[in-house]
């Protein structure tokens, strides 16, 4: 499981948008065409065109580019800065979410879930422009805000892709937080302490070379645990928000999006944001380790 996630992250950053990837129930490439008699589980595109004439069982996701749906989508249609068009024959069983792009629902198209539309592209571009001016003018606050936004965007991309690839593991691990909160919290705290100690030991051993491979392995494992744990918490918090306001059970991706927005918002609050992030890290480490990356069938308190 660990090796698969390491390979996935490497491939993601090196080949996204250039090399088509097919497997584990998803298609990741620039331009995607699902023919009338074709069925896919998940499709993800970066800057290309997605045309759905057939059926996608779960999610259709695009960063930039266009999404045109003429067939059926079983769960979520999500566009980040994308042009989304639902043709009269389109049927979306879940939600349609457009962030910073355009959404055109032609008469006759059916969306069984919620429709969320934020036309924020101009505001985001203006914010980045102000941040660039801040960089050139040596103003620190706009620079820090731009860095924060870029970090948030990277987190969002990773969250969406991990949800598309490991939906069952994330859903299962999230369900264990309520059942075994304090054991998970304790496991996370102990794991972070041990991990920090191992980092110090490997740094010391690196002065005599033998610790370098160990240090690199620890860093990779730590990154994987942090990313997966945070995405699990995005889902847990998003699902909790939806239920707290009397909403129906949200789709996996919509819950992750809601949790992502909540965590990002609190992260901007001085002191409280740092403490909140620390608690999330402890819980994230604990739930990943206790559920063995979301693959354990049962937990005992």
Query: Please, which residues bridge with residue 104 across strands?
Result: 85
Output the pLDDT for position 124: 47
Output the pLDDT for position 88: 94
Helix (H, G, I), strand (E, B) or coil at 299: coil
Query: Please, which residues bridge with residue 97 across strands?
Result: 78, 116
- Measured in degrees and rounded to the nearest 5, phi and psi for residue 295 equal -105, -10
Contact 21, 29 (CB under 8 A): yes
Strand pairing category for 96-99 and 76-80 = parallel
Which positions ≥6 away from 161 have C-beta within 8 Å? 12, 28, 44
Contact 148, 251 (CB under 8 A): no
Which positions ≥6 away from 163 have C-beta within 8 Å? 59, 170, 231, 235, 252, 253, 256
What is the residue-wise DSSP string for 92-149?
A: ESS-EEEESSEEEE-TT-EESS-EEEE--HHHHHHHHHHHHHHHHTT-HHHHHHHHHH
Output the pLDDT for position 52: 95
What is the residue-wise DSSP string for 37-103?
A: T-EEEEEEEESSEEEESSEEEEEEEEESSEEEESSEESSEEEEES-EEEE-TT-EESS-EEEESSEE
Which positions ≥6 away from 126 have C-beta within 8 Å? none
Output the pLDDT for position 21: 42
CA 83/CA 68 separation, integer angstroms? 8
Output the pLDDT for position 247: 67
pLDDT tens-place values along the chain, 301 residues long: 444 444 444 444 444 443 344 444 567 677 899 999 999 888 888 888 999 999 998 888 888 889 999 999 988 888 888 899 999 999 999 888 887 788 999 999 999 887 878 765 444 445 444 444 444 444 444 556 567 667 777 888 788 778 777 888 898 999 999 899 999 999 999 999 999 998 888 888 877 767 788 888 888 999 999 999 999 999 999 988 888 877 677 778 788 888 988 888 888 787 888 899 999 999 999 999 999 888 875 544 4
Output the pLDDT for position 120: 54
Output the pLDDT for position 1: 44
Query: Cα–Cα–Cα angle for 275, 276, 282, nearest 5°?
Result: 90
What is the residue-wise DSSP string for 85-104?
A: EE-TT-EESS-EEEESSEEE
Output the pLDDT for position 119: 67
CA 136/CA 116 separation, integer angstroms? 36
Helix (H, G, I), strand (E, B) or coil at 193: helix
Domain ranges of the chain: 2-121, 166-290
CA 66/CA 74 separation, integer angstroms? 19
Distance of CA 18 to the CA centre of its chain: 21
């Amino acid at each position: 499981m660990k090796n698969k996630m390491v390979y996935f992250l490497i491939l993601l950053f090196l080949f996204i948008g250039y090399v088509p990837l097919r497997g584990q129930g998803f298609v990741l490439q620039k331009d995607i065409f699902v023919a009338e008699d074709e069925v896919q589980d998940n499709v993800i595109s970066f800057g290309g065109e997605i045309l759905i004439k057939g059926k996608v069982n779960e999610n259709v996701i695009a960063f930039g580019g266009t999404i045109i749906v003429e067939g059926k989508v079983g769960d979520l249609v999500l566009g980040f800065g994308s042009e989304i068009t639902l043709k009269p024959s389109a049927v979306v069983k879940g939600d349609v979410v457009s962030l910073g792009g355009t959404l055109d629902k032609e008469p006759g198209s059916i969306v069984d879930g919620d429709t969320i539309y934020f036309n924020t592209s101009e505001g985001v571009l203006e914010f980045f422009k102000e941040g660039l001016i801040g960089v050139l003018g040596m103003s620190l606050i706009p620079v820090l805000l731009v860095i924060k936004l870029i970090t948030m965007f990277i987190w969002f991309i990773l969250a969406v892709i991990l949800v598309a690839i490991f939906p069952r593991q994330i859903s299962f691990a999230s369900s264990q937080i309520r059942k075994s909160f304090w054991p998970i919290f304790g496991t996370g705290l102990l794991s972070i302490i041990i991990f920090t100690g191992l980092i110090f030991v490997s740094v010391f051993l690196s002065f005599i070379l033998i610790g370098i491979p160990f240090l690199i392995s620890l860093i990779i494992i730590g990154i994987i645990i942090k990313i997966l744990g945070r995405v699990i918490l995005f889902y847990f918090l998003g699902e909790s928000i939806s239920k707290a306001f009397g909403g129906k059970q949200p789709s996996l991706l919509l819950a992750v999006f809601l949790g992502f927005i909540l965590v990002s918002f609190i992260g901007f609050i001085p002191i409280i944001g740092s403490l909140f992030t620390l608690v999330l890290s402890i819980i994230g480490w604990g739930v990943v380790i206790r559920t063995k990356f979301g693959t354990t069938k049962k937990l005992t308190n």
